[in-house]
Structure 1
Amino acid sequence: MFAGAQVSLYPMADGFVGVILESLSALDPYRDQLRIETDDISTLIVGPPEVLFPALRDLYCAASASGHHLVLRTTLSRGCPGEPDDPICDTSCLANPSEPLAQRQANALETLRLAPDMGQVADAQFSLYVMGNGDHMAEIMGCIDFLKQSGTFYKSKHFCTRLTGDAGAVFATLQQAFCQFGPANGHVTIDLTVSANSPSKR
């Protein structure tokens, strides 16, 4: 399997370069478990979801600690048929495809109990795309039902779902959406925007 994210940070600050570069240091503890490549547009992070999502969470928290309004934009993908399998992405956290949807929802909710408290609010909106054979809408609706019970659900919007809460809980919710819904060997993507310190909330 191949799994990863293309992530970009957009700080609304005069010193945005410093915010971005300092925030990227939050990925240092994960570099032996992930492949990380940064260019002038985004940072590619390749690796298993159970490492990928905590790394994204820590990157977001490091950036938001600046106090500046910022946005983290990420496209996440697993199982893309156009990408070669990569041993660094080996994982056992994807849902068993033979498990009923209700059991996968229950597993996801139980896992959220372990989410750490990061002390930083995350306001997010995301869309889940399940591609390939099978009833993709059943998987998406099952994910939405899970989100509504997650404790991070804020509201439904056109084309996406809003989440809010502590960054630990929000990124844990996103990880479960990514791993528990859609076939384990299928192509699943998430389009994600996370905002911090927005002046419109003051």
Structure 2
Amino acid sequence: MSNKKLEDLDCPWCGRGASLDITGCRFVLCPMSGRYIDIILDAVKQVDTRKIWHTTDKLSTIYRGKRIHVTDAVKACFVNAYQQDVHMVMEATFSKGCPGDTDADSFLSEDNVLMNQARIADKHFPVLCKFAFYPMGMDDYIRHIAHIANLAIERGVYLESSHYATVLQGDVHDIFDYFDEVMKYAEQNISHYILEATLSVNSPTK
């Protein structure tokens, strides 16, 4: 890779940007347990990833592909990692439309059949979530943020507003269904967006 700085290039993003319908998520699981290695690796292994591109490195796991399959896989990994006696956090960044993205490292399935939903549908537990949504490159970004906050209220997962984030609370399926609804709206109205979420279960903090 060249050591040239981006500001030294005439057009750093020319020829870049994904032309395919790719949604991506980079996430990390943090089980507060001495068994964290087994919990993380077992959860990742249980996810059916046949309809997404995926890789796990020393820092996190990345899923890329069709929105519904990426959301399905991230939710499955979180649900698979859940232990009743373990406080666990997931940090997740969803993104689509970045001008620095590429068509490489992706898999776009032709159908909408979710590969993990049936196996996790009966698993329910409460989740507390810190959530932030960023519409990029838009002067009227605040109206989209307001719409997305109202969606949380309508879907019954809104808990409160806080500094720099919205706090969500609800069943794990309701939280991820809300994420998918937000990204579906974003696909239709925003060229580049970022969704940041911190999900927590079994926290000892009251």
TM-score range, shorter chain: 0.7 to 0.9
| CA shift digits 1:87-138 (9 cap, x unpaired) | 6347899xxxxxxxxxxxxxxxxxxxxxx56312121111000012351111
Q: Measured at CA, do residues 90 and 189 of structure 1 come closer, stay the same or move farther in structure 2, by a change above 3 Å?
A: farther
**How far did 1:185 drift?**
6.0
Count of residues in correspondence between the two structures = 177
Q: Where does structure 1 differ by over 4 angstroms across 4 or more consecutive aligned residues?
A: 89-93, 182-185
Secondary structure of the 2:102 match is coil
Following the alignment from structure 1 to structure 2, what is the Cα–Cα distance between the partners of residues 131 and 92? 29
Letter in 2 for 1:179: K
Following the alignment from structure 2 to structure 1, what is the Cα–Cα distance between the partners of residues 190 and 160? 30
Letter in 2 for 1:88: F
Secondary structure of the 2:62 match is strand
Following the alignment from structure 2 to structure 1, what is the Cα–Cα distance between the partners of residues 163 and 109? 34
| CA shift digits 1:139-186 (9 cap, x unpaired) | 111111111111111111111111111111110001111221365561
Letter in 1 for 2:174: A
Letter in 2 for 1:145: N
Which residue in 1 is equivalent to 2:70? 52
Which residue in 1 is equivalent to 2:45? 25
- Is the CA contact 2:22–2:67 (under 8 Å) kept in the aligned structure 1? no
Letter in 2 for 1:23: A
Correspondence 1:129 to 2:134: yes
TM-score w.r.t. the length of structure 2 is 0.78
Correspondence 1:10 to 2:30: yes
Bigger CA radius of gyration: 2
- Equivalent positions of 1:107-122 (< 5 A) are 118-122=123-127
Once the two structures are aligned, what percentage of the paired residues are identical?
25
Which residue in 2 is equivalent to 1:79? 97
**How far did 1:187 drift?**
0.6
Q: Measured at CA, do residues 182 and 159 of structure 1 come closer, stay the same or move farther in structure 2, by a change above 3 Å?
A: farther
- Is the CA contact 1:118–1:166 (under 8 Å) kept in the aligned structure 2? no
**Unaligned regions of 5+ residues in structure 2, if any?**
1-20, 113-120
Correspondence 1:88 to 2:107: yes
**Unaligned regions of 5+ residues in structure 1, if any?**
94-115
Give the number of the structure whose residues are more often helix, by fraction.
1
Secondary structure of the 1:199 match is coil
Residue in structure 2 matching 1:194, options 175, 179, 199: 199
179-188 or 149-158, larger mean C-alpha shift:
179-188
Which residue in 2 is equivalent to 1:96? none
Letter in 1 for 2:204: P
TM-score w.r.t. the length of structure 1 is 0.80
